[in-house]
Amino acid sequence: MGKKKINARVYSQKEIAAGIFDMRIETDLAETAAPGQFVCLYPKDKSALLPRPISICEADREKGLLRLVYRVAGQGTAEFSGYPAGEEIAVLGNLGNGFPLEAAKGKKAFLMGGGIGIPPMLELAKRADAEKQIILGYRGGAAFLKEDLERYGKVYAAAEDGSMGTKGNVLDAVRENGLWADVIFACGPMPMLRAVKRYAKEQGIPAYISLEEHMACGVGACLGCVVRTRETDAHSHVNNARICTDGPVFEAGEVEI
């Protein structure tokens, strides 16, 4: 299914942690949303020139609802956080290449989410046919989405401030709990993804990482999300890829991060 720009409606919204909002929107984009994809939301304030890319947290096909969990980071997301139920919102979706579900089938998998990289793990946890070990990294404070994810696999939490689970990061939780896996799926801040890439290489297992942290416009126009790649692009003949159109999910060995 190709991407399309539509007018959706806010079904509900609430703040679930400091500066973290949980918005559900009514749209038929829910029918085709895949784990790891994202949508772009357009602010009504015309001084905000670019749409804001936000990962798909959950898709309810029966009710026609997309769940978007996002952090207020600037002018656009601050505007969205004030939308009440019934507010109309322009959405472009569904965008990007998501996590390869076939790579999880019948495997023992790590689903690793760090900070605002946790939301896309929920739809993946629902859809992946695997033995799921879900490892969540927080700075501290509220463990948002932890209870949602516990419905789909064993959850291990880590917090930088030691307020829950393992003190440290997601890989500290792996080591502390003696965990292993056949394949890794991860989304989070770049230092976490670099560490996951190194760990996967050391263990000799495939890892699929979402680089959505680096996106700007989300539609390939601004070239603000270019990442160096191992292979030369067949069209441009350079070792670059646009995260928003070629990703955001890549096999870890394909990209230089």
Local confidence pLDDT in tens for the 257 residues of the chain: 568 999 999 999 999 999 999 999 999 999 999 999 999 999 998 877 788 999 999 999 999 999 999 999 999 999 999 999 999 999 999 999 999 999 999 999 999 999 999 999 999 999 999 999 999 999 988 999 999 999 999 999 999 999 999 999 999 999 999 999 999 999 999 999 999 999 999 999 999 999 976 666 666 666 667 787 766 656 555 677 778 788 799 999 998 88
Query: Which of 50, 67, 95 corresponds to the end of one domain?
Result: 95
Q: For tokens 């139920």, name the residue.
A: 85
Count of C-beta atoms within a 10 Å radius of residue 128: 25
For residue 232, the model assigns a pLDDT of: 67
Same domain, 131 and 198: yes
Same domain, 49 and 28: yes
Same domain, 252 and 168: yes
Residues in the chain: 257
For residue 213, the model assigns a pLDDT of: 65
148, 124 Cβ separation under 8 angstroms:
no
Range of the structural domain that residue 105 is part of: 101-256
Same domain, 180 and 230: yes
For residue 99, the model assigns a pLDDT of: 98
For residue 46, the model assigns a pLDDT of: 81
Judged by phi (left if over 0) then psi (alpha if -120 to 50, else beta), residue 27 lies in: beta
Our measurement of the distance from residue 221's CA atom to the centroid of its chain's CA atoms, rounded to an integer in Å, reads 21
Give the pTM. Answer: 0.92
For residue 240, the model assigns a pLDDT of: 77
130, 109 Cβ separation under 8 angstroms:
yes
Q: For tokens 């932890």, name the residue.
A: 146
Total domains, the chain: 2
Same domain, 138 and 28: no
Phi first, then psi: what are they for 108, rounded to 5°?
A: -95, 115
For residue 200, the model assigns a pLDDT of: 98
Same domain, 125 and 12: no
Same domain, 45 and 126: no
- For the sheet with 226-229, list strands across it: 240-242, 226-229, 255-256
